Chains A and B, each alone.
Chain A
């Protein structure tokens, strides 16, 4: 309540959080530790701190989002920052302004942190090179979604007490998923055994080079897993170009009780949301006690608080 300055995250000394690639064990661990403390604070009646008091955060979302945007907004507000949500769908970008012009314009308003989601891979990094403030990647195309991976890690660590050595099966549309790419990075760094499960049409190229074991058969892919992490399948991918139908996808790649029974008896079920019930996950599993999908949402706010605190720590203090 009385903290005036943001806490450092040892091992994390970057002004931006753009990718999970290259984050050290120490950096990840300290971010998770910070987030753990934030999670406890979030369960108190008075959730407000003032470590970001006086700071301005801009949520710049080029792709619509409800969860991530509101999660960042809540995280920033709980840390005492002023938050502005830029609804880009109705902004000057629609009038033909380039990404970099938008960046320069926003930079001139002297924000302290910009949280960016963009539909193009690499766009957030490009923007970060043109501004003086901190930039946090809230998802860039099919590339990275670092805070999602960190919140998944935190959820796992809190439930299992560790990450190292756990068998994590990430299932579904891996090819188009930034969540999968970020998770593969941090899980590998933390020495989990990562598997990816998808039909070949939804597999990234050269999966073995990503440090994972690839399975096209889900029954085999989830066998003995500690964590079954489902991904969302976009509707436009279900019409026959990647997957013949939702029915067939559910039959062979949807998480139902039969496939889940191949995993460890205490396996956790995760999903980044929003879910397609009956497409990638059975409704009864989504609501099952082994599902930690609601905890993921809760940890999302805590992890974003930790990340905002850590990057803000790199800003000049006066």
Chain B
């Protein structure tokens, strides 16, 4: 893992903030003192009083919380650098308040070997402004047939194992992977969508798909694979995370597995919490994602589950696609939407309009993914890494895709008005993003 800690960095104190730590439930006026890249002190006593010899940043009453951890980020490096590199993704992340991004193995070549895990880590260390960890493929070439060197990949730094955008259709392969992964206590993150049922599908099956004349996939394709996996988890005892679920039935399946004492968690993408299939409207390909956007009532069920604590993690599922792949007939267009930079403000819609408590929302993007992945980030505590963000909860702005930092511009929120702006992002105590921007804060290298 790259080490950003700079022992010579000056002490910084962030005062006059609304300090929120989702892990402990702390939400009070105060401040945070940063020394040598870690949180040296925090609390109400730092609200007004800056210790001597420190650089002072006045948060002006805005929210100060741990930097976000985004568990599902696709980049194009290696292989599709024209879409996104680790560097460009990391700048988008910093601007969006994401201080740790977990990149997916769906690259060219696929991250299924020790040398490639090493490659990602070295490229990230040299080029990225936020923490980058990689998942490794759980099957060779993401083909769903032969398992990868899970033990050696984990030693090399792979934080979890995924089959990327592909579901493993072969039940035996899935069983063997789970059995084997358990010996290493490795986390298996699976995209659950039956490959046969979802073949050629480009949206959710239902009235709209019928009207648009598009091949659809019913949500049962997701539930079948998920329930199969959960039975295998029960048999093998492996640690399992359903990457992005999209309907009430999946939530029920995960809840039932949790009640049986299995080590199972689930994630949902921000797109599925905010959007539904009707947003596709007249074949708008920026709304073509995987799993597909579902019916409005599915979205409502996901929000309800988030409020009840049944959803562990929210991800951006940032997936840059270039114009050529999106300006296609809907059924031929690539899946995916960018989201790193808009993750937080878009999620805040659920707080402003959706009745989701701010701490609940932040928990799913900070301490919960951290716990799942074994990261020391994602919380405010003495000694924890100083990955911090300050954001203005109420500031409205209109998304302009040309101003987004991602190399690809396929945002479904283009031209949307959103509320909430990240004012400052710190990674290991160093400022990697400031709004409004100041030239020296753009890059640390």
- List A residues at the B interface (Cβ < 8 Å): 199-201, 216-217, 239-245, 247-248, 251-252
Q: Are A244 and B183 in contact (CB under 8 A)?
A: no
Alpha-carbon distance between A248 and B151 when the two chains are bound, in angstroms: 7
> Which B residues, 176 to 190, have Cβ-Cβ distances below 8 Å to chain A?
176, 179-180, 182-183
Alpha-carbon distance between A247 and B180 when the two chains are bound, in angstroms: 15
Q: Are A245 and B149 in contact (CB under 8 A)?
A: yes
Contact of B147 among A217, A240, A247, A252 (CB under 8 A): A240
Q: With an 8 A cutoff between CB atoms, is B126 at the interface?
A: no
Alpha-carbon distance between A241 and B180 when the two chains are bound, in angstroms: 10
Tell me which residues across on chain A come within 8 A of B323, comparing CB atoms: none
Alpha-carbon distance between A251 and B183 when the two chains are bound, in angstroms: 14
- Chain A binding surface SS class: loop
Tell me which residues across on chain B come within 8 A of A248, comparing CB atoms: 149-152
Q: Which 9 A-B pairs have the closest CB atoms?
A: A240-B146, A216-B183, A248-B149, A200-B179, A244-B149, A201-B179, A201-B180, A244-B147, A240-B147
CB distance from A318 to the nearest CB of B (A): 57
Q: With an 8 A cutoff between CB atoms, is B145 at the interface?
A: yes
Q: 22 A-B contacts, Cβ less than 8 Å apart?
A: A199-B179, A200-B180, A200-B182, A200-B183, A200-B236, A201-B179, A216-B182, A216-B183, A217-B183, A240-B139, A240-B146, A240-B147, A241-B146, A242-B176, A243-B180, A244-B146, A244-B149, A244-B150, A247-B149, A248-B150, A248-B151, A251-B152
Interface string of B10-25 (1 = CB under 8 A from A): 0000000000000000
Interface string of B333-352 (1 = CB under 8 A from A): 00000000000000000000
Q: Are A239 and B179 in contact (CB under 8 A)?
A: no
Interface string of B161-205 (1 = CB under 8 A from A): 000000000001100100110110000000000000000000000
Contact of A240 among B140, B182, B183 (CB under 8 A): B140
Contact of B148 among A200, A244, A251 (CB under 8 A): A244
Chain A: CB-nearest residue to B180: A201
- Chain B binding surface SS class: helix
Tell me which residues across on chain A come within 8 A of B183, comparing CB atoms: 199-200, 216-217
Q: Are B152 and A199 in contact (CB under 8 A)?
A: no
Interface string of B222-266 (1 = CB under 8 A from A): 000000000000001000000000000000000000000000000
- List B residues at the A interface (Cβ < 8 Å): 139-140, 145-152, 172-173, 176, 179-180, 182-183, 236
Tell me which residues across on chain B come within 8 A of A243, comparing CB atoms: 180
Given A239-B146, A240-B146, A244-B146, A251 and B179 contact (CB-CB distance below 8 Å): no
CB distance from B6 to the nearest CB of A (A): 35
CB distance from B169 to the nearest CB of A (A): 15
Alpha-carbon distance between A132 and B12 when the two chains are bound, in angstroms: 92
Q: Are B176 and A241 in contact (CB under 8 A)?
A: yes
User: Which one of A240, A241, A245, A251 has the greatest number of beta carbons of chain B within 10 Å?
Assistant: A240
Tell me which residues across on chain B come within 8 A of A245, comparing CB atoms: 149
Alpha-carbon distance between A242 and B147 when the two chains are bound, in angstroms: 8
* Given pairs A244-B150, A248-B152, 12 additional interface contacts (CB within 8 A): A199-B180, A200-B180, A201-B176, A240-B139, A240-B140, A241-B146, A241-B147, A241-B173, A244-B146, A247-B149, A248-B149, A252-B151
CB distance from A253 to the nearest CB of B (A): 10
Alpha-carbon distance between A199 and B179 when the two chains are bound, in angstroms: 8
Chain A: CB-nearest residue to B138: A244
Tell me which residues across on chain B come within 8 A of A216, comparing CB atoms: 182-183
Tell me which residues across on chain B come within 8 A of A217, comparing CB atoms: 183
Alpha-carbon distance between A281 and B196 when the two chains are bound, in angstroms: 42
Alpha-carbon distance between A200 and B179 when the two chains are bound, in angstroms: 6
CB distance from B170 to the nearest CB of A (A): 10
Tell me which residues across on chain A come within 8 A of B140, comparing CB atoms: 240
Tell me which residues across on chain B come within 8 A of A252, comparing CB atoms: 151
Alpha-carbon distance between A244 and B139 when the two chains are bound, in angstroms: 9
Alpha-carbon distance between A245 and B148 when the two chains are bound, in angstroms: 8
CB distance from B420 to the nearest CB of A (A): 44
Tell me which residues across on chain A come within 8 A of B173, comparing CB atoms: 241
CB distance from A262 to the nearest CB of B (A): 17
Tell me which residues across on chain B come within 8 A of A239, comparing CB atoms: 146
Tell me which residues across on chain B come within 8 A of A201, comparing CB atoms: 176, 179-180
Alpha-carbon distance between A270 and B183 when the two chains are bound, in angstroms: 25
Chain A: CB-nearest residue to B177: A201
Tell me which residues across on chain B come within 8 A of A244, comparing CB atoms: 146-151, 180
User: Which one of B140, B145, B151 has the greatest number of beta carbons of chain A within 10 Å?
Assistant: B151
Tell me which residues across on chain B come within 8 A of A251, comparing CB atoms: 151-152
Tell me which residues across on chain A come within 8 A of B149, comparing CB atoms: 244-245, 247-248
User: Which one of A201, A239, A244, A247 has the greatest number of beta carbons of chain B within 10 Å?
Assistant: A244
Alpha-carbon distance between A216 and B236 when the two chains are bound, in angstroms: 13
Alpha-carbon distance between A251 and B151 when the two chains are bound, in angstroms: 9
Tell me which residues across on chain B come within 8 A of A200, comparing CB atoms: 179-180, 182-183, 236
Q: Are B176 and A247 in contact (CB under 8 A)?
A: no
User: Which one of A201, A239, A245, A251 has the greatest number of beta carbons of chain B within 10 Å?
Assistant: A201
Alpha-carbon distance between A199 and B145 when the two chains are bound, in angstroms: 19
Chain B: CB-nearest residue to A203: B179
Tell me which residues across on chain A come within 8 A of B146, comparing CB atoms: 239-241, 244
Given A239-B146, A240-B147, A247 and B179 contact (CB-CB distance below 8 Å): no
Chain A: CB-nearest residue to B139: A240
Q: Are B145 and A240 in contact (CB under 8 A)?
A: yes
Tell me which residues across on chain A come within 8 A of B182, comparing CB atoms: 200, 216
CB distance from B199 to the nearest CB of A (A): 24
CB distance from A197 to the nearest CB of B (A): 11
Alpha-carbon distance between A305 and B12 when the two chains are bound, in angstroms: 83
Alpha-carbon distance between A241 and B150 when the two chains are bound, in angstroms: 13
Chain B: CB-nearest residue to A245: B149
